[in-house]
Chains A and B, each alone.
Chain A
Amino acid sequence: MNISYNWLKWYIPEAPDADKLADVFNYHLCEVESLEKKPDGNIIFDIKILPNRAHDLLSHQGIAHELASLLNINFVDPTPKYKIPASAKATAGKPELKIEVNTNKCRRYMGRIIRGIKIGSSPEWVVKHLESVGQRSINNIVDAANIVMFDCGQPVHAFDLDKLNGSIIVREAKDGEEMTTLDNKEVKLENSNMVIADAKNVLAVAGIKGGKIAEVDNNTKNIVIEVANFDPISVRKTAQALNIITDAKKRFENDLSPELGSYAMLELSALIYEMCPEAIFENVVDIYPKKQETRKLSFSSDKISKILGLSVSIEEIKDILKRYNFEFTENAGKFEIIIPLMRLDLMIEEDMAEEIGRILGYDKIKGKIPKINFKPKINEIYSKILWVRNKLLSDGYSEVMTYAFCDKGEVEVMQSASDKKFLRTNLADGLKESIKLNQANAPLLGTEEVKIFEIGTVFKKSGEEMHVAFGNKKETREITLDEYTKSAELFLNGLAGVGDPENRGPKKTTLPMKFKMWPLFPFIARDVAVWVPEEIKSEKVAKIIKDNMGDMVIRGPELFDEFKKDGKVSYAFRLVFQSYNRTLTDIEVNEIMTKITNKIKENDGWQVR
């Protein structure tokens, strides 16, 4: 979620500079995915709010509240600024707002009629705020609604009052009922979807998307504003079924406190009043059948310390609770707190361990190696895998891993980011592909015959099986791991897995080694064979080749043949040319080979075959 530094500063003017703040986020709250400095001097944090804090942190005020407590700095309450003119139950001669809630999946519905608004552009600060979080200004009413959501986290909506037929009704949709969304998408609804409707039409899919019918447009004079709270599972399922993802959906599906509604109604009304000072505000109609319960939570400083592995004092905990404005009592290290209504994430003692751990900072925890009374057993399957791998390696087979996905098989995934939607039923197909690939690369690998194996899972109707496949270009064999090791079982019984001295890690550490990525362009392999007097060592010939081969040789000179005849010796070397940034031509490689040949010929009694 995008968080604007300037917006945050409205609420926490003492906030540290942006780079310091990024550290505070990362070490005490949530990950900062990026930090962007804008040309106007503002800074945008892209922060990753995870589902446990999506109740209260998908908003600037939520973040500001948290930071104020975390950093022990002042939070500026905006409410005294909000001015709304005195309102009446209904405007003279007009019917008052009627709301019917016919489903228990709507936990609260607040509505208010505002008359005499004038659609127009928004004040500059609104436009700037919206732009800073990547939103486009549309008109004053739509913008006010968006500001409220990004400011306090409560999605809100506005309907054109003059397009409504009678009361607002919150209900389940009828199967087959249809609606056109604000962005002109036709949706077909079913009974499990919750909608906002009037006597005639569906006006909105509750908590997800508004409809075209009661859209606020440039001629709108009178509106109904909606501040509601919907069941998170219902919203999530409906949005998934309709395939609509909106900022409102993201907030509702994470569960919001219905108590947030009162504040949001106040903020939205005040914003509209700021934009339309002539407007007439009617009373808020608030359907809120079951008030959110106040919850308590008990925990002890001992348990917190035991979970964190860090001794946390009663005083430290008290300090945190005070900064976070938790009401609490404490007796001999046993705390009882009243959980703030917005903190739906706090349920159990362990949640408080996290709360205290992250606020103090996990850097306070010092690592230690635990000693437990546990006797590990040998894992039979892993032992078998190790044994098979060692056996095949020593028989000259090299190990590969290939894809588990393919385009035909017996087990199919329901949706995939790729076109390969089936799981492999054998290893052999992948192995054959790999043999083909490596055989073509044989000169690069410095081998004539490619021998490879894979140990891996295959998926059949009857379930998954661990297989071993091995082979070369002539044939491949594939059997189950159990079959392969059957003959070796006696041996296996004595063979421990990891932990056994025989398998205690690799003998030499692999640390200093560095991987070398291969070039992606084709290679060219060339051989050169030379007759030289018997006393000449191959190294001497190799040196001349090396000195003249240039910098495109990826492998070689490699001596692959050597024989003596009539007081002379023949050495045959292979050179493999390949570039990291282009395709080499035969012509240029020929030139290099000619140069090498000529250099060799300069020596008395040396002859290129």
Chain B
Amino acid sequence: MNEENKKGTIHPLSLLAKEAYQAFSDMNFEIAVGPELESDWYNFYVLNFPKDHPALDMQDTFWVRDPKSGCEITEDRYVLRTHTTTVTARAIEQAGKEGRIPCAFISIGKVFRNEATDATHEMQFYQIDGAMVGENISLADLKGVLTHFYKKMLGDDIEIEFKPSFFPFTEPSIEVFAKFKGRWLEMMGAGMLHPNVLRNIGLDPAKVQGFAFGGGLDRIAMIKWGIPDIRPIYQGDLRLNQF
């Protein structure tokens, strides 16, 4: 068979990211990207993680040695971002400076967790993270937006529900579950942006409020297509590119 101009195959996560971005741009979200090597300020403290607090243990973090001196610097420390909430926080901060409030951002990017690898855990994976800020944005809006998103991703018969949770950057905090083929599956964390976060990014919590959410894109891919193991996703094996 001839190979003339045969098209290459796309990585499934790129395909899924494209679909996810589309689902959110249908709802007026703007795409945001940001650095993977991030200051601890944006990764943690802007997001209302208290210093020296057990909440920091909720994410296994890769702290980075100062590339210049080769040792840990205490004042301005760097991490491999543990979530892309950093990106949405930066984007909202910028939008605030430009007077673009209300606003809505969506970002998909690689994140890193320092944990042992198995079929469902990788040290690197993709996260989809979004936020919307305005005068009256509520948990009901979050539910509507996520329902639309998961219907686009997993089919029209999907249902979602919220359960209580805790994240330093949201209050109330919830865990989002989706019912796919008769089973309830944990999909992402979400909630209403904590007033301290709004203040930290230059907004006035007395005037605006908003929701934020974030979860693994790999997980959606694994559920959607029935991929049994996360590890082949980053092994550079073309047999993965089936779609």
Question: Is B179 part of the binding interface, using a Cβ–Cβ cutoff of 8 Å?
Answer: no
Q: Are B236 and A354 in contact (CB under 8 A)?
A: no
Which one, B104, B155, B171, contacts A354 given CB within 8 A? B171
Which one, B51, B104, B234, contacts A402 given CB within 8 A? B234
Q: Are B140 and A309 in contact (CB under 8 A)?
A: yes
Question: Is B29 part of the binding interface, using a Cβ–Cβ cutoff of 8 Å?
Answer: yes
Rounded to whole angstroms, the CA-CA distance of A253 and B57 in the bound complex is: 12
Question: Is A587 part of the binding interface, using a Cβ–Cβ cutoff of 8 Å?
Answer: no
Q: Are B36 and A505 in contact (CB under 8 A)?
A: no
Residues in A neighbouring B195, C-beta threshold 8 A: 348, 350
Contact pattern, B 1-44, Cβ under 8 Å of A = 1, otherwise 0: 10101111111111100110110010111111101110000000
Question: Nearest CB to that of A561 among chain B residues?
Answer: B1
Question: Nearest CB to that of B165 among chain A residues?
Answer: A50
Which one, B6, B53, B233, contacts A396 given CB within 8 A? B6
Residues in B neighbouring A513, C-beta threshold 8 A: 225, 242-243
Question: Is A182 part of the binding interface, using a Cβ–Cβ cutoff of 8 Å?
Answer: no
Q: Are A370 and B37 in contact (CB under 8 A)?
A: no
Q: Are A377 and B80 in contact (CB under 8 A)?
A: no
Residues in A neighbouring B62, C-beta threshold 8 A: 413-416
Question: Is B182 part of the binding interface, using a Cβ–Cβ cutoff of 8 Å?
Answer: no
Nearest chain A CB to B203 CB, angstrom units? 14
Rounded to whole angstroms, the CA-CA distance of A373 and B164 in the bound complex is: 30
Q: From known contacts A307-B138, A515-B226, A559-B1, infer whether A51 and B166 are also in contact, taking CB-CB under 8 Å.
A: yes
Question: Is A19 part of the binding interface, using a Cβ–Cβ cutoff of 8 Å?
Answer: no
Question: Is A351 part of the binding interface, using a Cβ–Cβ cutoff of 8 Å?
Answer: yes
Which of B5, B53, B154, B155 has the largest number of chain A CB atoms within 10 A?
B53
Contact pattern, A 109-124, Cβ under 8 Å of B = 1, otherwise 0: 0000000000000000
Q: From known contacts A374-B28, A445-B239, A517-B229, infer whether A353 and B172 are also in contact, taking CB-CB under 8 Å.
A: yes
Q: Are A350 and B172 in contact (CB under 8 A)?
A: yes
Q: From known contacts A308-B139, A398-B241, A431-B236, infer whether A411 and B209 are also in contact, taking CB-CB under 8 Å.
A: no
Rounded to whole angstroms, the CA-CA distance of A161 and B35 in the bound complex is: 58
Q: Are A376 and B123 in contact (CB under 8 A)?
A: no
Rounded to whole angstroms, the CA-CA distance of A345 and B25 in the bound complex is: 37
Q: Are B141 and A413 in contact (CB under 8 A)?
A: no
Question: Nearest CB to that of B124 among chain A residues?
Answer: A404
Question: Is B96 part of the binding interface, using a Cβ–Cβ cutoff of 8 Å?
Answer: no
Question: Nearest CB to that of B103 among chain A residues?
Answer: A374
Question: Nearest CB to that of B186 among chain A residues?
Answer: A31
Which one, B31, B132, B147, B162, contacts A362 given CB within 8 A? B162
Nearest chain B CB to A524 CB, angstrom units? 16
Q: Are A445 and B238 in contact (CB under 8 A)?
A: yes
Question: Nearest CB to that of A417 among chain B residues?
Answer: B116
Residues in A neighbouring B154, C-beta threshold 8 A: 511
Q: Are A379 and B139 in contact (CB under 8 A)?
A: no
Contact pattern, A 357-379, Cβ under 8 Å of B = 1, otherwise 0: 11000110111111111101111
Question: Nearest CB to that of A28 among chain B residues?
Answer: B164
> Using a Cβ cutoff of 8 Å, how many contacts connect chains A and B?
316
Question: Is A401 part of the binding interface, using a Cβ–Cβ cutoff of 8 Å?
Answer: yes
Question: Nearest CB to that of B11 among chain A residues?
Answer: A399
CB-defined A-B contacts under 8 Å, sample of 9: A236-B54, A309-B140, A353-B172, A366-B140, A412-B65, A417-B117, A505-B22, A506-B18, A515-B225
Q: Are A369 and B145 in contact (CB under 8 A)?
A: yes
Rounded to whole angstroms, the CA-CA distance of A438 and B235 in the bound complex is: 10
Contact pattern, A 436-477, Cβ under 8 Å of B = 1, otherwise 0: 011001001101111111101101110110000000000000
Q: Are B234 and A368 in contact (CB under 8 A)?
A: no
Q: Are B19 and A506 in contact (CB under 8 A)?
A: yes
Question: Is A558 part of the binding interface, using a Cβ–Cβ cutoff of 8 Å?
Answer: yes
Q: Are A434 and B237 in contact (CB under 8 A)?
A: yes
Q: From known contacts A376-B29, A464-B37, infer whether A363 and B53 are also in contact, taking CB-CB under 8 Å.
A: no
205-243 of chain B: CB within 8 A of chain A:
209, 224-229, 232-239, 241-243
Question: Is A324 part of the binding interface, using a Cβ–Cβ cutoff of 8 Å?
Answer: no
Question: Is A243 part of the binding interface, using a Cβ–Cβ cutoff of 8 Å?
Answer: no
A393-B9, A398-B238, A401-B13 given; 11 more Cβ-contact pairs under 8 Å: A31-B165, A54-B54, A307-B139, A367-B146, A367-B160, A370-B141, A382-B21, A399-B14, A411-B64, A515-B242, A560-B1
Contact pattern, B 146-167, Cβ under 8 Å of A = 1, otherwise 0: 1110000011000011111110
Which one, A53, A399, A460, contacts B10 given CB within 8 A? A399
Residues in B neighbouring A365, C-beta threshold 8 A: 139-140, 143, 162
